[in-house]
């Protein structure tokens, strides 16, 4: 099973906690944006998934813990996140300086239906390693749920977040 398979099977909720400052440094749309282009690309498959989940009543929430000023890549992600929100995903942003006292996992994760955690990993340069680790251990699920909800409570909704960018 992949993370995508798990998300597609969600019945109630998909929570996603992101904590890195770089993810896809060689993405063509990101490179286009760096060169002065729009940075937009076809995200129909993802947006259709979000709409499908929302249509089934599945709440999809993403919380991002970010360094400020934002890295160039996270600036780009902030710019394109309006498409996620328009599709039905709720996104909030929390500056790392407001998260320092939270106990957060060592990797980004998805938590589906408060029952399965799917961790995903990147190399130091932000390249996706393709490695995914799944856990349904009650303690792990509870820790990830608590971490996500603590970040969510402090974070600013996407529409209101005005990041520091230099």
Domain spans of the chain, in order of start? 3-160
* SS3 at position 37: coil
What are the strands, taking DSSP E only, across the chain?
13-18, 59-66, 90-95, 108-112, 116-122, 128-135, 156-157
Residue 164 pLDDT more than 90?
A: no
Q: b/e map of 90-118 (b: 16 or more CB within 10 Å)?
A: ebbbbbeeebeeeebeeebbbbbeeebbb
Average pLDDT for the chain = 96
> Does the structure show a pLDDT above 90 at 166?
no
* pLDDT of 94 above 80: yes
| Its pTM surpasses 0.85 | yes
Q: How far is CA 28 from the centre of its chain?
A: 19
Cα–Cα distances in Å, from 41 out to 79, 81, 117? 12, 12, 29
- Per-residue confidence (pLDDT) for residue 115, from 0 to 100: 98
> What percent of the chain stands above pLDDT 70?
99
What is the structure's pLDDT at 32? 97
Summarize the confidence of residues 63-74 as an average pLDDT.
Answer: 97
Superfamily of 3-160 according to CATH: Endonuclease Chain A (3.30.870.10)
């Amino acid at each position: 099973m992949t993370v995508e398979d798990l998300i597609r099977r969600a019945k109630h909720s998909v929570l996603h906690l992101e904590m890195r400052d770089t993810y896809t440094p060689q993405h063509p749309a990101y490179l286009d944006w760096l060169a002065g282009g729009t940075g937009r690309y076809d995200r129909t498959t993802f947006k259709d998934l979000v709409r499908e989940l929302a249509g089934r009543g599945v709440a999809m929430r993403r919380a991002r813990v970010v360094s400020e000023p934002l890295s160039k890549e996270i600036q780009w992600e902030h710019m394109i996140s309006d498409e996620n929100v328009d599709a039905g995903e709720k996104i909030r942003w929390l500056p790392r300086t407001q998260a320092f006292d939270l106990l957060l996992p060592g990797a980004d994760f998805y938590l589906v239906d408060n029952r399965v955690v799917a961790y995903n990993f990147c190399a130091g340069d932000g390249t996706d390693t393709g490695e995914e680790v799944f856990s349904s251990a009650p303690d792990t699920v509870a820790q990830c749920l608590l971490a996500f909800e603590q970040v969510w409570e402090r974070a600013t909704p996407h529409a209101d977040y005005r990041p520091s960018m230099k």
